[in-house]
Amino acid sequence: MTINFQQILQDSWNFIRNQRKFTLMLTLTFCLVTLILNIFGSSLFQSVTETAINEPIDKNELSTMMQRVQSGNFLLLYVVNQFITLLLSTWGILSIHQISRRQSVDYMQTAKSTLGLIFGVIILNILIALPLMGGLINIIPAAINPAAASAGIIGFALMIFGVYVYVRLCLAPIHYTVSKTNIFASLQQTWQLGNKRTSTLFLYCLLVYFIVPFIAQQVAFLANNTFLNIITTLIISFLSVFTLVVTYRFYILFTQKA
C-alpha cells in the first residue's frame, strides 16, 4: 500500500495544533540550546582572537594556530550539538509516541527513558551512516588530487551503496526508541520493513533530510541582527519539532502498512 505524504503532513499539523503546549515547550528547548551553543561558539572564537592579538606571534604561526584551534572548536561544537539534538529528538519522539497513544505524559520519566536509550540511538546513527561516510572519505582525496582517480571511483560506488543502506535503515533509530528492541533487532526489523519499499523511504529521506533543511537554511539567511537571529532560530526550532512529528507519523504508517 502506498503512503500519502500529504496526509502525513496534514496529520502532523493537526497534532501540532492540538498539542500546542508540548510543541511550544520542545520548540523553546531547541531554540534555547541552539542560542546557547551559538554564544558558546562565538566566545570560543573571541577568546582565540584576543589571545592572538595580545601575544606577539609570527603571522604564519598565527594563521596555523587559528586554523588548528578553529577546527578543534568546530569539531567540539559539532559533536556537542549532535549529541544534544539526538537527546532532544529521542525525548521528543518518546513524548509524541505517548501522546499519540493517549497516554499521560510524565516528562521526567520520559527524560529518564531517553537517557537509557540515547547511547543505542547514537550507535545506530553511526552504524547506518558508516558506509556513506566511507564513500565520502574516499571521494575527498580524489577531488583534491586528480592522481587518486581510482580511489574516487571506489568512493563513488561506496557512496551510492551508502546512500542505499542509509535510506533502508533510516527508521532504525526511531524503531529502537519506540519498540524498545535491541540494536541488532532494530537494524534487522527495519531492513525487513523496507523490502520492496525503498522508493517510499527515499521520498521520506528527501523530505526530512533535504527539503526541510533547505527551507531552514533559507530562513537562517534572514538573520542579519540579534533580534532576527532569535526569530529565525525559533522558526528553525519549530521546523525541527514538526519534522519529529512527521517522522513519527511516517514510521507508524510505514510499519502498519508493511
Q: What is the pTM of this model?
A: 0.88
pLDDT of residue 24: 96
Please, are residues 150 and 128 in contact by the beta-carbon 8 Å criterion?
A: no
Average pLDDT of adjacent 10-residue blocks, the chain of 258 residues: 88 95 96 90 65 55 58 77 94 95 86 94 95 81 65 79 95 94 95 93 96 94 89 96 97 87
